[in-house]
Structure 1
Amino acid sequence: MVPSDTDRRWWCAAGLLLAAACLWGCRGAGAATGLPQRHSIRADQLLIQSDVRLPKGHPLLVDLERLRQDISTTLDLPVQEQTVTVYLFGDEKRYADYLQATYPHLPPRRAYFVGTARELAVYTFWGEKIQEDLRHEYTHGVLHACLKDVPLWLDEGLAEYFEVAEPPLGYNREYVARMSHLLANGWRPDLNRLEQLESVSQMQKADYFEAWAWVHFLLHESDDSRGVLLDYLRALRENPRPGRLSARLRSTIPHADERFLAYAATLGKTVATASAAERSQR
């Protein structure tokens, strides 16, 4: 989802796990709860339970298989062994009715990732932005299958990075254009503030944008910045609380904020050049 309607879309807060566990008894009934069961298709560690029939070579399925590999390659993570199950409802009403009955505390959203000790599950419905929604939520699933835990800001930043299907990977044109505008108006990053966000209610629309921007910076600014992120993800494979990434970043890159701003300005120029080229071709 784009930032205009993506408040925290995965729900795995410790305070809510008990409620989720209590629902497992009725969820097992399958048809009674309305979970999609009509069609089932598996590709490695991806299982899709769908109201809509998807042939094995369907573009959505192929895209998710490729995304799984892209996440593993880009982040230097092992390909996950735990299955991520996608529940694909045939229409928005069935999806909304199921979520309301099963997770009444969740606000309306097009898609959710729900991680529990029993299952890593994505819930969504067949709609205009099905590919974007699936890529975002499936990224959460792959990360939680590989790592002990993921800080909120990093979890969302990586999902925002991988949700864009068009090349180059992670290049969100809307975000880049917004970056250029914000920098022109004096905006400055604050990774320390992002790292203090721990709950759904704290995360605002601008936080998803800044989380994506930090991920893009870390992956692409330099070998040093990329190494900080990859080393941190390796730590998360064994330790759910390895400390804050910002401490590692500033130890490696003392003037990280200034480097971030310089990199962000370059992103803005890139999209401006691309836009000008498009206008000249019309």
Structure 2
Amino acid sequence: MLEFQSIRWVSLLAVMVSVGPYSGPALGDHRWPDQRQVGPLLCHADFPLDKYLPFFQEIAELQTDLVATLGVGKTREYIHLYLFSKRSTYQRYLREHFPGVPYRRALFVKGHGPGMVFAYASGDFQVDLRHECTHALLHGSLPMVPLWLDEGLAEYFEMPADQRQRGSPHTGPVRRAALFRRVADVQSLEAITGIDNMSGRDYRQAWSWVHFMLHGPAAAGDELRSFLGDIQAHVPPGRLSDRLTQKIPDLNRQFVRHFRR
């Protein structure tokens, strides 16, 4: 049986912020009216979490999905999630503890200790939490993840499990582009060095390559898992675009074919 807990990382507006030491509260800290735990996720909230229990159980299963789908290991650390009922309270807390950090609907902070996720109960609360938990769980397992792939995976796993293959809002635009044989340029994605440099189009294209690797030719999925396996083993992985082209010489044609099916 799962014990209760929740988490999140960086939303679709995501940023990863490197900070100095920060002591997050332990479970039992009186400043947080409701605190729960599910697996590696430690949740601190300023509002009752009871009605979110089924959702947090779903979030806890996200780690199982990542392990099974990507072949990565489980997170090596606890992840703290700080939840606020109001946007104003959320913003005030961030201004106090992380002055100068630009506003985001949800924020993942990784310093020298466990990862921390900050979010408020917006209309996109569940999507945001899935997105950020994907970031948090990946970075709790892997020493690094290329930015574009990190965001592409988070965009993919932010949907409920039964909607990941066909239910993303990215599906329509990508399929329309494929009708005109427009291929997302993965090398351009690999060249992006900062989250602030990623546009909405970049997020969509990153998602499209993840979707292709997970639901397209078996060789593409195998190469993604091999790439992440090298990262996990601290072996320099090279560029994923080069590895995919080596395994699938007609890569762009296969990409277009995948989204025209």
The TM-score bracket by the shorter chain reads 0.7 to 0.9
Supply the AA of the counterpart residue of 2:189. Answer: L
Deviates more, 1:73-82 or 1:153-162: 73-82
Structure having the higher helix fraction is: 1
Whether contact under 8 Å (1:161, 1:215) holds in the other structure is: yes
Confirm or deny: 8 A CA contact 1:139 1:158 kept in the other structure: yes
Number of residue pairs the alignment of both structures matches: 248
8 Å CA contact 2:107, 2:118 repeated in 1:
yes
Q: Which residue of 2 aligns with 1:137?
A: 132
Asked if 1:61 corresponds to 2:53, the answer is no
1:114 aligns with one of 87, 109, 112: 109
Structure 1 residues 29 and 188 mapped into 2: Cα distance closer, same or farther (>3 Å)? closer
Residue identity in the other structure for 1:10: V
Paired position in structure 2 for 1:10: 15
Cα deviation for residue 184 of structure 1 reads 4.1
User: Hey, what's the Cα distance between the residues in 2 that align with 1:146 and 1:126?
Assistant: 27
Query: After superposition, where does 1:78-117 map in structure 2 within 5 Å?
Result: 78-117=73-112
1:218–1:145 distance in 2 versus 1, CA, 3 Å: same
Q: Distance in 1 between the 2:39 and 2:191 partners?
A: 36
Q: Deviations over 1:130-163 (max 9, x none)?
A: 1111000010000001101000000000000000
- Which amino acid in 1 is paired with 2:12? T
- Quote how far apart the aligned CAs of 1:233 are: 0.7
Q: Which structure 1 residue ranges, 5 or more long, are not aligned?
A: 267-282
**Greater RCO between the two (CA within 8 Å, min separation 6)?**
2
Of all paired residues, the percent bearing the same amino acid is 31
Give the Cα separation in 2 of the matches to 1:83 and 1:260. Answer: 37
Q: Take 1:240 and 1:98, find their aligned partners in 2: how far apart are those partners?
A: 39
Change (3 A) 1:113 1:172: farther
Using the alignment, how far apart are the partners of 1:147 and 1:42 within structure 2? 22
Could you tell me how far 1:121 is from its partner in structure 2? Answer: 1.1
Residue matched to 1:21: 20
CA pair 69-29 structure 1, distance change in 2 beyond 3 A: closer
Q: Which moved more, 1:240-249 or 1:188-197?
A: 240-249
User: 1:84-141 deviations in whole A, cap 9, x for unaligned?
Assistant: 1111112111111122333334332211122222121111011221111100001000
Q: Is the contact between residue 150 and residue 240 of structure 1 (CA under 8 Å) also seen in structure 2?
A: no
Looking at structure 1, the residues matched to 144 and 25 of structure 2 have their Cα atoms a distance apart, in angstroms, of: 30
Counterpart CA distance in 2 for 1:240 and 1:104 is 37
Aligned to 1:74: 69
Report the RMSD for the aligned CA atoms in angstroms: 2.3
CA–CA distance in 1 between the matches of 2:165 and 2:38?
24
User: Is the Cα–Cα contact under 8 Å of residues 88 and 125 in structure 1 kept in the other structure?
Assistant: yes
- TM-score, with structure 2 as normaliser: 0.87
2-side partners of 1:163 and 1:50: how far apart?
Answer: 21
